[in-house]
A and B are shown apart, each in its own frame.
Chain A
Amino acid sequence: MADPRISIIEERLRNIKHIIAVSSGKGGVGKSLVASMLALILARKGFNVGLFDLDFTSPSTHLILGVEGLMPEEDKGVIPPLTNGIKYMSITYYSGKNVSPLRGSDISNALIELLAITRWNSLDYLIIDMPPGISDSTLDLLRLVRRVKFLIVTSPSKLAFETVRKLIALLREMNFPIIGLIENMDMKGSPYIREMAERLRINYLGSIPFDFALEDALGDVNALLKTKFSESLMKIVDEIYN
């Protein structure tokens, strides 16, 4: 007759002021890095922040933030543990290093389950690291979390932007707010993405230069915060929230 879990999702998210999905049409553009570092930067600014890794088949935020040895506490549901000042939730607590070969309906079910049982309590920001594209996870989020806003990430590639264009079209058609577009891995300073954003009347939030030092900083939050990537993202965050 009815899946009761869906009835409780709104209640679970009630005390969260802003829900931001970091999304893109393509993989490999830096969504997980932007989502992780955005959560970290907001937490360092004193906000109460949660990070939810929704990329169930290829999660990576735990590697970026160096999350190890944590498990959610059970108390009338599950309570995300705190890491680096962020309430952090990921399927990897349960899947470990095992592969999670999930089809669309399984992804939907796992998403509903985690939204129904996770107790975030009060948050200023819940940052959601989305899987690439506009398939099940994106459609489920749009169906189940009506007040989500989207922060879109692209690389300077025309190929990446073509997929972003489709994501923007979908979000507009369904009347979901788009905070803006971040251009990541900028190498040539090309105006292409900025011009495309202007043409589509999307807020171009800024570019993040390709940072060769980033790879070596993965897993070490303090090192990550000293990278050029982090410096550029901090400027973007300051512009959005000041």
Chain B
Amino acid sequence: MHEWALAEAVASAAIRIAKEEKLKSISIVNVSLGELQQVDVEIFKFALSEIKSNIPMLKDADFNVKIVKAEFKCRVCGYRWTFRREVLNEEVQEAIHFIPELAHSFIRCPNCSSPDFEVVKGRGVWLESIVGVK
């Protein structure tokens, strides 16, 4: 239920931004989830629906969740490749789920075997935008 902690973070950030923007209520929250994080979207959405029901400013909000495919670029040879969860064992999937940076412990550049690569996209959780009523 690590998803719950991330959902709380999204709710907290949405409220903070709404207050900064002087919104009375929030109607739409657009969230991007990096594929590398391997968040269970159903659990994440369930957590959001539970959390929002206790927060007046957020209770009528719709959450749009978009998954961003993970892509890596090797800093040594420049090779680009995508994340393939299925080639990793369960323990490694779990480690990367909790701390996506541990991709550097378990994944190597398919071209030159370097662990020094960049996660070009598809890492983390991002609050893209919110829509609300002033």
Which residues of A approach B to under 8 Å, CB–CB? Answer: 1-8, 11, 56, 74-78, 91, 94-96, 98-103, 106-107, 109-110, 113-114, 116-117, 119
Contacts and interface: CB of A to CB of B under 8 A. Distances in A.
A117 B126 contact: no
Nearest to B123: A109
Contact of B124 (A1, A107, A109): A109
Given A2-B126, A5-B125, A98-B106, A76 B5 contact: yes
Interface in B71-129: 94-95, 98-102, 104-106, 115-116, 123-129
Nearest to B30: A1
Q: Which of B6, B9, B104, B115 gathers most chain A CB within 10 Å?
A: B9
A1 B129 contact: yes
Given A3-B125, A74-B1, 5 more contacts: A3-B127, A4-B125, A5-B9, A75-B1, A98-B102
A107 B100 CA distance: 11
B2 to A, nearest CB: 6
Given A78-B98, A94-B95, A8 B5 contact: yes
Interface of B: 1-2, 4-6, 8-10, 12-14, 16-17, 31, 47, 94-95, 98-102, 104-106, 115-116, 123-129
Nearest to A103: B116
Contacts of A7: 9, 12-13, 16
B104 A4 contact: no
Contacts of A5: 6, 9, 124-125
A229 to B, nearest CB: 31
Contacts of A101: 104-105, 115-116
